[in-house]
Amino acid sequence: MRIAVFDSKPYDRQALSRANTTQQYELVFFEDRLNQQTVPLAAGFDVVCPFVNDRVDARTIAELARLGVKHVALRCAGFNGVDIAAAKQHGVAVTRVPAYSPEAVAEHVFALLLTLVRKTHRAYNRVRDGNFSLDGLVGFNLHGRTFGVVGAGKIGQATLRIARGFGMQLLAYDRSPDLKHAAELDCEFVPLERLLAEADVVSLHAPLFPETRYMINADSIAAMKQGAVIINTSRGGLIDSAALIDALKDGKLGGVGLDVYEYEEGVFFEDLSGTALQDDMLARLTTFPNVVITSHQGFLTDEALANIADTVIGNVAAFAAGRPLSNAV
């Protein structure tokens, strides 16, 4: 099997090469993202392996099928960038990585959250400049606060377990509540409206579908507590960035931690330090002292990368052997 790995970075190459030692597939790595312009690179391959910001739309799928590609092996959980109906129409299998060390993303939630509520990013910069003043660095305890998770799947549950360790009160919203885990976590499943109204911290873990796009908007932010903190490590499109900026300007929100951004394609994962940032909205977000942005790195641990690579190679092996695809989309 020949596999074309798109939007690849050095850490992808290392992890996939290690996972491939037992199968010995031919891996060819491209830095380009897979889309209508780059799909000719897939000529001669059996499988393509795109990442979260690749655009595998209907035209790209049709061209992949024409080139003889039979399998789109995503190396991420989200599949909103793939036209699933077109893939079925052209007989192209699509698999994903539904879970990869949920703890990696859950721990990153708290890296962002603790940075915000204890203002360690500002303290770090001050100390480097020889400023040891504590003025303006007053934070708040997590213990005793209410932590709300929107989307209580594996990552959401891992996040709730950490929040419980901090002594927080737990609320969760999910379209299909897992009441067994709710009892184990001492977590209450509530309607989204109540969660937004009561949570001091709202952590987003929902998938991006048409019905969840902009679930955090001007109205939902207005319904939140004054000074609430929003953390998004899931999908950028869950938040209306324009409404978020308005709420930050008004002082409605106490802090925002973003590991994803709705227009991150072509920006996140890239070194743009030598050029002017062309996205005015993202540039504005970076100016707020109570906003912390990371470049979609919640998955970036040794353990998560190994899990992702193992699952991708396993999905390809199952497809090559004609076995049922347990991770099919």
Q: pLDDT tens-digit profile of 80-116?
A: 899 999 999 999 999 999 888 999 999 999 999 999 9
pLDDT score recorded for residue 236: 96
> Are the beta carbons of 192 and 175 closer than 8 angstroms?
no
pLDDT score recorded for residue 179: 82
What's the rounded mean pLDDT across residues 182-189?
90
Phi, psi dihedrals of residue 230, rounded to the nearest 5°: -110, 130
- Distance, CA of 176 to CA of 327 (rounded, Å): 20
**If pLDDT is split at 50, 70 and 90, which confidence band does 149 have?**
very high
The residue ranking higher by pLDDT, 265 or 218, is: 218
Phi, psi dihedrals of residue 20, rounded to the nearest 5°: -85, 0
**If pLDDT is split at 50, 70 and 90, which confidence band does 265 have?**
confident
The residue ranking higher by pLDDT, 246 or 178, is: 246
11 closest CA partner among 324, 323, 311, 305: 305
pLDDT score recorded for residue 181: 79
Dihedral angle at the C-alpha atoms of 323, 324, 326, 329, nearest 10 degrees? Answer: 120
pLDDT score recorded for residue 238: 98
The residue ranking higher by pLDDT, 109 or 180, is: 109
Which residues, in sequence order, are bridge partners of residue 4? 28, 48
- pLDDT, the chain, mean: 96
Q: What is the pTM of this model?
A: 0.91
- Distance, CA of 13 to CA of 263 (rounded, Å): 25
All domains in the chain, ordered by first residue:
2-100+302-321 (3.40.50.720), 102-293 (3.40.50.720)
Just list the catalytic residues.
235, 264, 296
> Are the beta carbons of 16 and 312 closer than 8 angstroms?
yes
Phi, psi dihedrals of residue 57, rounded to the nearest 5°: -85, -175
